Structure 1
Amino acid sequence: MPNRNYWLSFLVVCGFWGISLPAFGQALVPYTVQLNSAQLEKQGLGLAQEAAQLAQFQQYELALPRARLATQLAPKTYQSWLLLGGLYLQTNKFAEAIAPLQQARALDPKNPAILFALGSANFGQERYQAAVDNIQAGLKLKPNDPDALFDLGNSYYKLNRLSDAIAQYNQAVANNQKFWPAINNIGLIKYEQGDIEGALTNWRNALAIEKQAAEPQLAIGVALYARGDRDRGLAAGEAALKIDSRYGDLEFLKQNLWGNRLLADTKKLLAAPRIRTTLQQAPQQPPRQTTPQTPQ
């Protein structure tokens, strides 16, 4: 599934803070220069803007030290704390993300992007009810956000509230008809419930929207293979793994909410010699993932 960077999208949409980015050599101020608090804050915001630009190119490890320094130079601006928390999210440091995101919320309690990011951090810590609470609080401020509705659906899924999960996924699609991950995840639930045809319909619909989406492609292959359509199942599985070989890892699939029934059937497909050969030949570096765009 695509990662949710509410924090980065929010900062980019807002034009960050409308300040001029200092030259790289100006990022660190010589110790002999005396600056007042306003100048220090401006310097911190410049560093944060530079970190945000690095984050847009997924240069998270380079962005993190700049973001940390930005919170020290501009501690009273929620943007620097939101940026730091968001970078921790993107590097799967969920526990570290909580404190800066809570600080951002203290400075701007009515910002939905902060609440959504907190929900993502809770989800990463497997605190699913806390994730539900934060995402719902954000949706009260920004109703019908497809990304947030999708994450709320995922949280309900982990709480085994499957009908609630499907309702949120459907709501996400109602607000963005091209939001294929939500359509895909409805298929995951249907497969676990034994509705194989319904699951296949969802996965085919998801693939029709995003033809390079490895996940629904592999799921289709698994379902076909499991019901005896071996040739088409192998072909679909092979095509998916050529797009993104990470989907050949059962643990990765589990992290992407694949249930026990689907994982058991996937294991059988992955054991096929043709699929094993494909995995050996597949590139190790997956393509850059994109997030479905919400119509403005």
Structure 2
Amino acid sequence: MPKRIPLFSLLVVLGLWSVQPAFGQALIPYTLQLDAKELEQQGLNLAQDAAQLARFQQYDLALPRAQLATRLAPQSYQTWFLLGSLYLQAKEVDKAINALQQARTLKPDDAGILFALGSGHFQQAKYQEAVTALQSGLKIKPDVPEALFDLGNAYYRMQRYQEAIAQYQKAVAKEKKFWPAINNIGLVMYEMGNVEGALRQWRSAVAIDKDAAEPQLAMAVALYAKGDREQGVLLGETAIRLDNRYADVDFLKENLWGDRLIAETQKFLQIPRIQETIAQSEPPSEQTQNAPE
């Protein structure tokens, strides 16, 4: 479960249309002469359509509808919020920030917009701006585990470790089975040199979700580094079979693995048995797939 995806803000904005039917009208026939109110309604209909497409992860189809919706209904904060969230999903972060700022201008005290801005600033590596936006949103809506988690991540990137742990703990207090927050407490503890504390957190995360590859690989690396090599390799093999993306160091960095854990992981991934597991878990090459039988 990659932890830095802007899905939360998208889910929030999709909820704006959750009680209304979707409209399939995507384009306005040029022969119609519509007044401003009708144009705005067409824009909202388009936004509903885009939201429904986004629910089914059809983002390429959703994005142009959302873009047109903001032109037809430029005074609707919902259309800008939706567009910004879709841009975040597409990793067009600068465009996302611009759209979300427009949404905030129209509705300054919406917590969801502030949380989405926090996610966007985080992706820009503007961690203090992310903290400010997330804190502002949490003042309005304080009990959102995902936002507390994002705030913890921002503090973690700033190496404000105790503050990061505090936010992760708040997230878990709100949602007991929120294993990514428990996992990240382990990541922070490992960077602080508390290996046993990190292992306890990762075991707790796996107890919640036995198919969570990330805490299992983190445990594997930590155990191997402290001398429990056979158990470490067995856990590592299991983790990579569950999700071989975690054998990619760049992917681990995206998921906030710190320098100390990354250094140990790079050595761990070179173990012959782990190399063999990685090779076995990779999908067949196109040439192999297309080879004649």
TM-score over 0.5 for the pair: yes
Q: Which deviations, in whole Å up to 9, do the C-alpha atoms of 1:119-168 show, x marking residues without a partner?
A: 01100000000000000000000012111111111111111111111111
Q: How does 1:93-112 map to 2 (within 5 A)?
A: 93-112=92-111
Q: Once the 2 structures are TM-superposed, how far is the Cα of residue 5 of structure 1 from its aligned partner?
A: 2.8
CA offsets 1:162-207 (integer angstroms, 9 cap, x no match): 1111111111111111111111011011111221111110001011
> Distance between the aligned counterparts of 1:243 and 1:37, measured in 2?
53
Identity of aligned residues (%): 57
Corresponding position of 1:116: 115
The equivalent of 1:57 in structure 2 is: 56
Structure 2: runs of 5 or more not aligned: 285-293
CA contact (8 A) 1:4 1:147 kept: no
What is the identity, as a one-letter code, of the residue corresponding to 1:236? L
Aligned counterparts of 1:268 and 1:68: Cα–Cα separation in 2? 46
The residue type equivalent to 2:124 in the other structure is Q
Give the TM-score normalised by structure 2: 0.92
Query: Does the C-alpha gap of structure 1 residues 284 and 161 become closer, same or farther in structure 2, counting only changes over 3 Å?
Result: farther
* CA–CA distance in structure 2, aligned partners of residues 284 and 124 of structure 1: 29
Partner of residue 10, structure 1: 12
TM-score (norm 1): 0.91
Mapped to 2, the partners of 1:136 and 1:63 lie a distance apart of: 30
Aligned residues: CA RMSD: 1.6
- Are 1:132 and 1:155, in contact at CA under 8 Å, matched by a contact in 2? yes
Return the letter of the residue paired with 2:170.
Q
Distance of 1:13 and 1:51 partners within structure 2: 12
CA distance in 2, matches of 1:50, 1:244: 33
> Given that residues 128 and 159 in structure 1 are in contact (C-alpha distance below 8 angstroms), is that contact kept between their aligned partners in structure 2?
yes
Distance in 1 of aligned mates of 2:6 and 2:177 = 16
Aligned pair count reads 282
Which residue of structure 1 aligns with residue 23 of structure 2? 22
Query: Residue in 1 aligned with 2:77?
Result: 78
Q: Offset at 1:283?
A: 4.7
- Report the CA distance between 1:84 and its aligned residue: 0.7
Match of 2:223 in 1: 224
SS of 2:215's partner is helix
Question: Residue 197 of structure 1: SS of its match in structure 2?
Answer: helix
Matches within 5 A, 1:156-175: 156-175=155-174
CA distance in 1, matches of 2:62, 2:266: 38
Q: For 1:201, give the aligned amino acid.
A: R
Structure-2 residue corresponding to 1:255: 254
**What amino acid maps onto 2:181 in structure 1?**
A
